[in-house]
Structure 1
């Protein structure tokens, strides 16, 4: 299924992937500290693709990527969607995030395909499908909501 077909009509990104990665380095430097584990790969109308480059720092016993690492990927996907589509106000915050872990996530790249379900003036609702491994199977799926701060008049 083409991810672009299922997006809400009329959503146009205001920032591209490179601009988002630069913004995250400035506004949220602790996300990647000395590593580049979480990155934005693509921003498109109504969504984005983010990646976790999962390595030994992200593993729990059993050689599986930890739930908190996948949860962070889901949250970053929503954050990238709100920043790229509602505007670069770094003060947007998560108000809810619901995650389902589907199968073991092996170390290596895990791609989060994020789609905006609804973008309003105050809230953005999204879903993200996280895929990994040689077969690109879903390892986790999440839905969430971001609060968008009110626009201030200049």
Structure 2
């Protein structure tokens, strides 16, 4: 399957449509069923003790699933999360960037289903795993 948006197009889309968080995320790689996006960790992403917070990891998983869906369907801003389950497995390294590696499991006309593994820079094992479903708006 072909992609409709590459890394540059997805980064530009985030800058244009989600400027409030666009500086936090960078799409690094895109293929038809996989995508890698980085969360540039800053002070606002940390919890007491200096580790990345759960909400920041959720945001990375959510953005990763959203972007792999858009990579395939094109710039549909109103594609929305309908379900998410996340397992926090390990404490991320202190103040280290996170990398979300998402795999698109199913893309239908109305739903997209993805799995995301989240890695902390400097660690080889994932720190979190998420499964997400996105609703795709009807096309005219």
Mark yes or no: TM-score above 0.5. yes
Does residue 70 in structure 1 map to residue 57 in structure 2?
A: yes
Q: Which ranges in structure 1 are unaligned for 5 or more consecutive residues?
A: 1-10
Deviation at 1:135, TM superposition (A): 2.9
1:46-90 C-alpha deviation (Å, 9 max, x unpaired): 121011111222110121100000000000001101111122111
Contact 2:26 2:38 in 1 (8 A): yes
CA–CA distance in 2 between the matches of 1:76 and 1:136? 22
Structure number with higher strand proportion: 1
Contact 2:99 2:121 in 1 (8 A): no
Bigger drift between 36-45 and 64-73 goes to 36-45
Write the mapping of 1:88-103 to structure 2, written as runs, cut at 5 A.
Answer: 88-103=75-90
- Residue number in structure 2 paired with 1:20: 10
Deviation at 1:30, TM superposition (A): 1.5
TM, length-normalised to structure 2: 0.94
Write the mapping of 1:28-67 to structure 2, written as runs, cut at 5 A.
Answer: 28-32=18-22, 36-67=23-54
Q: Which ranges in structure 2 are unaligned for 5 or more consecutive residues?
A: none
Q: Give the RMSD, CA atoms, in angstroms.
A: 1.1
Tell me the SS of whatever aligns to 2:15.
helix
Does residue 116 in structure 1 map to residue 104 in structure 2?
A: yes
Contact 1:101 1:140 in 2 (8 A): yes
Deviation at 1:150, TM superposition (A): 0.7
Deviation at 1:111, TM superposition (A): 0.7
Deviation at 1:133, TM superposition (A): 3.3
Q: After TM superposition, which residue ranges in structure 1, 4 or more long, deviate above 2 angstroms? A: none
CA–CA distance in 2 between the matches of 1:28 and 1:151? 22
TM, length-normalised to structure 1: 0.86
